[in-house]
Structures are given as structure tokens and as C-alpha cells.
Amino acid sequence: MLFNSIEFLIFLPTIFLLYWFVFKQLKTQNILILIASYVFYGWWDWRFLFLIVLSTLVDYTMGLQLEKTEQQQKRKYLLWMSLVFNLGLLGFFKYYNFFIDNWVEAWANMGVTMHKSSLNIILPVGISFYTFQTLSYTIDVYRKKLQPTKDFIAFASFVSFFPQLVAGPIERATHLLPQFYKSRKFDYHVAVSGMKLILWGLFKKVVIADNCATYVNDIFANYQDQSGFTLVIGAVFFAFQIYGDFSGYSDIAIGTARLFGFDLMRNFNYPYFSRDIAEFWRRWHISLSTWFRDYLYIPLGGSRGNKWKQIRNVFVIFLVSGFWHGANWTFIVWGGLNALYFLPLLLTNNNRNHLGEVAENSWFPSVKELFQILITFGLTTLAWVFFRADSVTIAIDYIQQIFTSDVFLPSVIRQKRMFPLLLFFILVEWFSRKGEIPVILNKKYRYVFYVLLTFVILYYASAAEKTSFIYFQF
């Protein structure tokens, strides 16, 4: 079920009314959330519900078993059982086709013909997200940072919580699971902030991302016939498409959760205003980057040890992050490229230079800050070409075309309506960068802004086909 669909427009208020006016007890509210989450996910393909239920049962059981023993060897054995099961399931559904294709191709390059298996694996929506969410529970129970739960309904609701089930944020069990134990009361101000986030998320998705996608798809599909400037515009549009699409989903998820009295972690913090790559990764897909930091980077040694170990750890994190995104060499190259961007900051100990807000005490950035933002955005956009392209060869060819094609502007004229929208979007984000919800006017006129925003969303929603969110494929 898509957030930007008629079905969800009916689904959300129905569950909201039942939740607050019919199922008023904590246990019944959790049961309603669980049922609603399974309906929400099963809307795509009810057969994949089996995987969520199975993953839930395994990690719930592992948590209880970990509580029963203090023997370290047995605890490690139980942890590894959870890791092997969850990552094995994820690996099979997500990477089976990738490894088979590459295996056949490798033999073909040596002159040996092999036939692929007829088994064609379909990737279940959101499996990368809820797998990492359940793993956080087992790992934290193993580390004794969290008491294992005996409330199966609460745990199953945590695993399948519908607002963030298919594209995050990837919640930690230590943060979200305890919220299912506590009675929740309706808070008008929290609900209003949730509605504002939903509205801004829909604007990002419907108005920015989906409109950019129209041009991006055309430019990337016909990149060999485009001018160099048009190819640059195509890459820039994709940078805004993926940001609007993914952060838009996160905003809607966080806002929806607030309607039911839940607090989800922030997943994006205006990443395109970053002054270096390290700052970008502290602001982009925060739930995933912090997951890798806590469960992979720090156990590997983190920033401790000599420089070679630090470099190794950085490359491991970025390459695994790339591979997490999908079974394609383009994602691995994308991850490796970001590691190379990060390397000079690490070697010069400048990777934690920018921890505060850009232009913290000013309306506008300094010349130096503006230059840093543009350089960081340019490097990020270059890497996005590999993320978007169908193959590494196409990505390299696309970049080469930028510098070898004619640099003319006329082919961009047909995309001119996007520029005012993007300018408006950037300005709203810039003047809202110190908060979570876009606020560009004083309170007297603020609701006029939200009403106009609603009409703009409805206009663009009716004028174009509803499209799935990009990160559903991951």
C-alpha cells in the first residue's frame, strides 16, 4: 500500500479512529497495530507475510533463550543462529539472482557455457529494513542492553509497525519496542506536528521526486543523444528525486507514527547543506548509517587502532552499505566512491569538523560555506550517477558524455518548470534547517502556507500517475 494512494487515504483515518475511539486499552491497541501492519504489508503480496512472521518468531525465541543462559559460548551460538537465519533469508531473496548471474558470466568469460537456474527470486518489499530491525533486538539482548520481551504482540508490532515497515527509519529495539509497553494518550500538538510532516513528505514525493523522475527517466534512457549540460541536469534532478522520494517517505512515516502516539528517530537532517562528505553521512539515512556504526564499524575497531585499520573499517562500512542497497555492481561502486571521498577527511583528522548547523548565526552561508556545500553536493551527485545507472559501464559512459557532448542549453528548456519548484523547495529547506518541520512564515500566515501546499500536492497528484517509492526495491 503506497502512502500516496487512495487506499492509504482511506486506511489511515480508519485505523486512527478505531485506535483512539474503539480500541482504547494498550493490549487491544497493539493488536490493532499488528493487524493493520499485516494488512498494510500484505496489500502488495500476502504470501510475504510468512517471512515477517517467521523472522518475528525466530528473534522472539532467541531473545527468550538468551535470557535463560549466562554461558557465553551458548549465548554466542544463539546470536549466530539469529544472524545466520536473518542474513541468510535476506541474502537468498536479495542476492541469489545477482550471484547466479555473475557466476554464469564469469564462466562465460573463460569460454565455458553454463545455464542459469530457472528459479527467479522476487524481492519482498522492505526485507532489508525489517531484517535489520529484528537483528538490532537480538544483538542488544545479547549485549545485555535490552531485556528480552515476553509480550509477543508488542514484539510482533515492533517488527511490523506499518508506518516505517517497508522503507524505514530502521528503528532500534531499545527505542521503539518500549513504546509498545506504555499507555499512549492522544496529544493534539504532537498529532499536528505529525500532520505537518506528512504534508511536507507528500510534497517532497509527489511534487519534487515524481516530477524530477519524469525528466530523469527520459535523460538516463536517452543519455547518448543528450547535450552535456542536459546530462548534468539529469544527474542533479536525480539527486533531488532520491532525496525527495526517500526523505519524503521518512517524513510521512514519522508523522504517521505520531498520530498513534509513537516517536520514530529522525532519518534525514537537510543533507544537501553539508559542508563535507562526513557531514553528509551524518545527515543522510541516519538510521542506517548509525546502525552500521554501532553494529559493524565499532565492533571492527572503529576509529581506534592505526590508520590502515581505520581505512579498512571505512571501506568495509561503505562497501557493505552499497551492497545493502541492492544486488548490482553499481551500488558497490557507489559505496566505494563515497569511501574514497571520505578518505582525505579521515587521513587529516577532519572528519568531525562540521558538527553544528551551517550558517548557524546567519541567514545565509558565507562564501566559504557556500563553496563547501556546492563541492559536497557535486561529489554526491557524481556518485548518484552510479546509483541510478543500470550498469557500471553505462554510468561511466554517462559521465564521459558530460565532458565530450556539446554543451548546449536548448534541450533543457522543456524541463524549465522544475527549476522554480526546486528553488522553492531549497529555500523552504534552507530557512527551516534548524528545525524538523518546514516553517518559513510567522504563525499568522503559516496555515495559509500549509493550505496552499495541500492544493499544490493535490494538483500534481491528479496530474500524474502515482509511483512507488525508490527504496521499496531495497
CA atoms within 13 A on the CB side of 202: 25
Count of CB atoms within 10 A of residue 301's CB?
13
Catalogue the E-assigned strands of 223-378.
none
- Catalytic site residue 285? no
Instruction: Pick the catalytic residue from 175, 189, 285, 325.
Output: 325
Contacts of 79 (CB under 8 A, 6+ apart): 62, 66, 138, 139, 142
Q: At what angle do helices 367-388 and 392-404 cross, to 10 degrees?
A: 130
DSSP assignment letter at 293:
I
DSSP assignment letter at 356:
S
Indicate the residue type of 419.
F
* Longest CA pairwise span in the chain (Å): 73
What is the rounded CA–CA span in Å between residue 246 and residue 463? Answer: 21
What is the rounded CA–CA span in Å between residue 167 and residue 453? Answer: 24
Residue in this structure with the C-alpha cell 551527485, named with its chain if needed: 381
| Residues belonging to the chain | 474
Consecutive H or E run containing 469: none
CA atoms within 13 A on the CB side of 386: 21
Residues 172 and 136 sit within 8 Å (Cβ to Cβ): yes
Q: At what angle do helices 127-142 and 72-109 cross, to 10 degrees?
A: 150
What is the rounded CA–CA span in Å between residue 291 and residue 269? Answer: 16
Residues 238 and 384 sit within 8 Å (Cβ to Cβ): yes
Q: Which of 203, 231, 236 is nearest to 218 (CA)?
A: 231
Residue in this structure with the C-alpha cell 532525496, named with its chain if needed: 243
Residues 258 and 20 sit within 8 Å (Cβ to Cβ): no
Terminal-residue alpha carbon distance, the chain: 16
Which residues are known catalytic residues? 325
